[in-house]
């Protein structure tokens, strides 16, 4: 098998794992179910990922590619990019579901994704604090510092995903996220009318 | 067995289920593990809860008792009570872990807690919007309406719980929640200094 074909196969397997985790969570996911979805035997899958945890690592690396677009882009208006990222996420519930399920599971005992999320959140809070300071200065509305607002920004993104996944008709995730940016003093006040239930687009 | 003794037994079983779910999630929890923890056979446990889902219902009713203290109390300063609820939660990570794990799992396919969380969040967003309107009026900072701020309030509470469970040393959940209230224009600006990493108490 060529190297390119092998890489392609790995990507297919990771894609199938994302689906199976979205359906059953990581603990509920079996390598057999993932293998079946890509037309491999379980033995065949083990050739690419010798353990379930190694497959999880590949899934989590996928997350890194998924959500750093907004936070790592240099230059101005990065808060706008963050708003666009939330809009983009609202168009792909499957992957949002996978990572929301994994985040929830990660707080249970000895979960293999726990260290990943812990380290990742330390990093993201730092990145967000720097971003807020660069765009809005050292004192935010309510007297908050960027370091205080950073965990709130992260919490809003995660928390809104659960509400939106459970009830996409009731929660306009991008509009509510933009409302949070307005609360931070960024961008125009959001035109409302219908509360949180109407799209602002 | 007396009725009182039977009720007590049920409460013990629900307590054990809370622990097992915190450790393994609901899908990973077995009735056998719950039974063992209270010194019953699985057959003995089925006398109290004939199915795993019935036990889950009792666990979710426990959640209702757990977190409605702040939102349902009539009278003024209810946002203060909400801040106190978050402080109280920071003293009992076990139960916070149980419900954070359940919320995460609830977005996976055909999860038996999904309807519960969906209905609950509809209710809580409504309650929070009414609370915000009563305490802060119809226009909040950034031009937000109470209906826009309500899902943010809920998202902040849920999202902060994950960050805090993963890294309690790094995230001072009650202080960061109070910072969010300050952002809404409620209460004094939070004294900071150490960012989100220091306790305000």
Residue B197 — very low, low, confident or very high, per pLDDT cuts 50/70/90?
very low
- Tell me what the mean pLDDT of segment B36-41 comes to: 96
The listed CATH number (1.10.10.60, 3.40.50.970, 1.10.3720.10, 3.40.47.10) that belongs to domain A1-61:
1.10.10.60
Per-domain boundaries in chain B: 1-59, 68-201
Distances in Å between the Cα of B28 and the Cα atoms of A27, B38, B50, B125, B182 are: 7, 18, 18, 30, 40
What are B141-156's pLDDT values in tens digits? 999 999 999 999 999 9
d(CA A165, CA B49) in angstroms, rounded, equals 30
Q: What count of CB pairs under 8 Å joins A to B? A: 226
Q: Tell me the residues of chain A between 63 and 82 that have a Cβ less than 8 Å away from chain B.
A: none
d(CA A99, CA A102) in angstroms, rounded, equals 5
**C-alpha angle A21/A67/A158, rounded to 5°?**
70
Residues of A in contact with B188 (CB under 8 A): 143
- B1-59: what CATH class? mainly alpha
Are B140 and B150 in contact, with CB atoms under 8 Å apart? no
* ipTM value: 0.88
Q: How far apart are the CA of B104 and the nearest CA of chain A, in angstroms? A: 4
> Would you state the pLDDT for residue B72?
52
Enumerate residues 6+ apart whose C-beta is below 8 A from A3: none
What are A132-176's pLDDT values in tens digits? 999 999 999 999 999 999 999 999 999 999 999 999 999 999 999
> Would you state the pLDDT for residue B77?
64
Mean pLDDT check: name the lowest of A143-157, B30-44, B45-59, B184-198: B184-198
Contact B166 A117 (CB under 8 A): yes
What are B66-120's pLDDT values in tens digits? 665 444 555 446 888 999 999 999 999 999 999 999 999 999 999 999 999 999 9
Tell me which DSSP letter residue A112 carries: T
> Would you state the pLDDT for residue A67?
64
> Would you state the pLDDT for residue A40?
96
How deeply is B201 buried, as exposed, middle or buried, from its count of CB atoms within 10 A (0-12, 13-18, 19+)?
exposed
**What length does chain A have?**
201
Q: Which residues of chain A have pLDDT under 70?
A: 1, 66-77, 188-201
Q: How far apart are the CA of A59 and the nearest CA of chain B, in angstroms? A: 17
**What length does chain B have?**
201
Q: How far apart are the CA of B86 and the nearest CA of chain A, in angstroms? A: 14
Q: Which of B101, B104, B159 minimises the CB distance to A155? A: B159
Q: Which of B140, B145, B190 minimises the CB distance to A195? A: B145
d(CA A136, CA A148) in angstroms, rounded, equals 13
């Amino acid at each position: 098998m060529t190297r390119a074909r092998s890489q392609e196969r790995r990507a297919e397997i990771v894609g199938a794992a994302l689906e199976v985790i979205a359906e059953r969570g990581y603990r509920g996911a079996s390598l057999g179910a993932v293998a079946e979805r890509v037309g491999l035997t379980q033995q065949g899958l083990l050739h690419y990922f010798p353990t379930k945890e190694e497959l999880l690592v590949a899934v989590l690396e996928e997350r890194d590619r998924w959500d750093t677009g907004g936070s790592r882009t240099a230059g101005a208006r990065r808060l706008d990019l963050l708003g666009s990222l939330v809009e983009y996420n609202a168009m792909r519930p499957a992957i949002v579901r996978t990572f929301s399920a994994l985040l929830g599971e990660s707080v249970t005992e000895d979960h293999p994704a726990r260290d990943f999320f812990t380290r990742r959140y330390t990093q993201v809070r730092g990145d967000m604090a720097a971003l807020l300071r660069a765009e809005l200065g050292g004192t935010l509305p309510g007297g908050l510092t960027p370091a205080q607002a950073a965990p709130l920004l992260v919490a809003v993104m995660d928390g809104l995903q659960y509400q939106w996944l459970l009830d996409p008709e009731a929660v306009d995730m991008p509009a509510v996220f933009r409302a949070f940016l307005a609360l931070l003093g960024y961008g125009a006040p959001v035109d409302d009318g219908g509360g949180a239930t109407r799209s602002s687009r």
